[in-house]
C-alpha cells in the first residue's frame, strides 16, 4: 500500500463508520445525524482524485465500500426497538448507492479536471450525491421493490403524507430522500472551501 492511500483510506473509513453510527439518531423530523457526515465521503474522493489521480481515488472508494459492508453486516445482527438496526434492503441500498455514486463522482471529476478548480468537485459531487440519494431510498424503502426482502415491512416508509410536511402528497420515504438530498447539495457547496485548502496543501508535496 503506497503512502497516499493510507490517509485517504483512514479518512474514508472514519466517515463511513461515523455515518453508520449517526444514522441511528434523528435530527429533526426528516433527517438523521448521519446525513451531515456521509457527504464528506465525496470530499475525500475528490481530494484523492485531484491530488493522486483516478486509480488512487478508486482504491479509497473500494476500501470505504468494504468498511460499509462490514458495518452493515454488523448492524443486521444487532436488534433495536423495532428489529435489526440494519435490514438487508438498507444494507443493499447503502452499498449499491455508495459504490455506484462514488465511481460516478470519480469519472465525472476526471472528465472535468482541466477546467476551473471548483468545476470538477462541484459538478461531480452534485451528480454523485443525487444518484446516491435516489438509489439508496428507492432500493431501501420503495414499495415496488418489496420483493427484495418480503419479510421486511416498509409500510411505514410508504405512508402518504405531504412532502416535507407541507408540499404535495407523497410516500414518507420521498420526503426523507428530498431532505437528505438538500443537505448533500448544501454540503457540496460548503465542501469547496476545505477542498481548495487541502489540495493547495498537498499538491506541492506531490509535484
0.75 cut: is pTM over it? Answer: yes
pLDDT tens sequence across 146-176: 999 998 999 999 999 999 999 899 999 999 9
CA-to-CA separations, 124 to 80, 153, 188, in angstroms, rounded: 36, 35, 9
Closest to 142 in 3D by CA, of 132, 127, 152: 152
pLDDT of 82 reads 63
Closest to 105 in 3D by CA, of 68, 50, 51: 50
Closest to 85 in 3D by CA, of 93, 77, 97: 77
Model confidence at 141, in pLDDT bands (50, 70, 90)? very high
Residues 6+ apart with CB under 8 A from 146: 152, 154
Angle between helix axes 119-141 and 40-52 (nearest 10 degrees) is: 140
pLDDT tens sequence across 54-101: 999 999 999 999 999 999 999 888 876 666 778 999 999 999 999 999
Contact between 110 and 49 under an 8 Å Cβ cutoff? The reply is yes
Contact between 19 and 170 under an 8 Å Cβ cutoff? The reply is no
Amino acid at each position: 500500500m503506497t503512502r497516499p492511500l493510507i490517509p485517504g483510506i483512514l479518512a474514508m473509513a472514519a466517515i463511513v463508520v461515523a455515518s453508520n453510527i449517526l444514522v441511528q439518531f434523528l435530527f429533526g423530523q426528516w433527517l438523521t445525524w448521519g446525513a451531515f457526515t456521509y457527504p464528506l465521503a465525496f470530499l475525500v474522493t475528490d481530494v484523492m482524485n485531484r491530488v493522486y489521480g483516478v486509480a488512487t481515488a478508486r482504491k479509497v472508494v473500494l476500501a470505504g465500500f468494504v468498511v460499509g459492508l462490514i458495518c452493515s453486516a454488523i448492524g443486521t445482527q444487532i436488534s433495536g426497538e423495532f428489529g435489526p438496526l440494519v435490514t438487508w434492503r438498507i444494507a443493499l441500498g447503502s452499498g449499491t448507492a455508495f459504490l455506484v455514486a462514488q465511481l460516478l463522482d470519480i469519472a465525472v471529476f476526471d472528465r472535468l479536471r482541466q477546467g476551473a478548480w471548483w468545476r470538477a468537485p462541484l459538478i461531480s459531487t452534485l451528480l454523485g450525491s443525487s444518484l446516491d440519494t435516489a438509489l439508496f431510498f428507492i432500493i431501501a424503502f420503495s414499495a415496488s421493490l418489496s420483493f427484495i426482502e418480503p419479510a421486511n415491512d416498509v409500510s411505514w416508509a410508504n405512508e402518504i403524507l405531504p412532502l416535507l410536511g407541507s408540499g404535495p402528497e407523497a410516500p414518507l420515504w420521498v420526503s426523507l430522500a428530498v431532505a437528505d438530498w438538500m443537505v448533500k447539495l448544501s454540503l457540496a457547496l460548503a465542501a469547496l472551501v476545505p477542498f481548495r485548502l487541502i489540495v493547495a496543501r498537498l499538491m506541492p508535496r506531490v509535484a
